Amino acid sequence: MSKARQMERAADRRPEAATDDRPVIVALGDSLTAGFGVDPEQNYPARLQRKLDEGGYRYRVVNMGVSGDTSAQGLNRLAAARELRPAVVIVALGANDGLRGLPLDATRDNLEAILRALKEDGCKVVLAGMEIPPNYGPEYTRDFRALFPELARRYRAALIPFLLEGVGGRPELNQEDGIHPTGQGYRIITENVWRILQPLLDRNP
């Protein structure tokens, strides 16, 4: 088991998590969710928790981001997310599929399986749209981008049009690899998520 997965499981076993009765918001994703390369308090789930607390929303955010995960690996971890009986799940997967040029049909099938299971559980779902650089070819790039709104419509999930809107392609908001956001970049990403998530929340869940 990787160190990241061990830490993820250990976090879910913390005494405070076991006794916290607030409804759970799961952030299921890859390195963009995990917060690769930034302080743990700077990633978007951590910033989202602070926004919830400051706004008087009684929810607990669980960061289930694992760096490098594809949609298939996210699907494999879905059972752990469902065990938390979340009120809301933010699904931010697929970026690594696109960057590796994986077949779109496989990505679609994996994301569909995730969305279908979550909808069957009766929880609210937010799907984060992803985009990839144009050097993967115009057809693949276009079809990849279109995949997320298509699935959001089909499964009636709330859609973040593009998770990295306002951040992607801006060197000053990304780390040296040009892919992973800085702490300042995560401020913007948190607002991208919040605009879609906030209308789904109850003041007194």
Question: How buried is 128 (Cβ within 10 angstroms: 0-12 exposed, 13-18 middle, 19+ buried)?
Answer: buried
Quick one: pLDDT at residue 4? Answer: 47
Residue 48 lies in a domain: yes
74-104 burial code (b ≥16 CB/10 A, e <16): bbebbebbbebebbbbbbbbbbbbbeeebeb
Q: What is the CA angle 161-69-66, rounded to 5?
A: 95
pLDDT at 12: 52
Q: Is 177 a residue of the active site?
A: yes
Domain at 16, CATH number: 3.40.50.1110
- In-domain check, residue 110: yes
pTM for the model stands at 0.90
Residue 205 domain-assigned (yes or no): no
Q: Is 47 within the bounds of a domain? A: yes
| pLDDT at site 133 | 87
Which pLDDT tens digits describe the chain residue by residue (205 residues)?
Answer: 454 454 455 455 454 556 889 999 999 999 999 999 999 999 999 999 999 999 999 999 999 999 999 999 999 999 999 999 999 999 999 999 999 999 999 999 999 999 999 999 999 999 999 999 888 899 999 999 999 999 999 999 999 999 999 999 999 999 999 999 999 999 999 999 999 999 999 977 6
Annotated active-site residue in 30, 69, 71, 180: 180
Query: What angle do helix axes 138-155 and 104-121 make, rounded to 10 degrees?
Result: 20
In the residue annotation, 31 being an active-site residue is answered as yes
In a domain, 165, yes or no: yes
Q: What's the pLDDT score for residue 10?
A: 46
**160: in domain:** yes
In a domain, 101, yes or no: yes
CA dihedral 147, 178, 194, 157 (to 10 degrees): 10
Q: Which domain holds residue 190?
A: 3-200
C-alpha distances (whole Å) from 102 to each of 21, 114, 142, 151, 175 are 40, 18, 14, 18, 25
Active site residue: 30, 31, 69, 97, which one? 31
Catalytic residue among 30, 109, 177, 202: 177
Tokens of 77: 């971890």
Count of structural domains, the chain: 1
| pLDDT at position 15 | 46
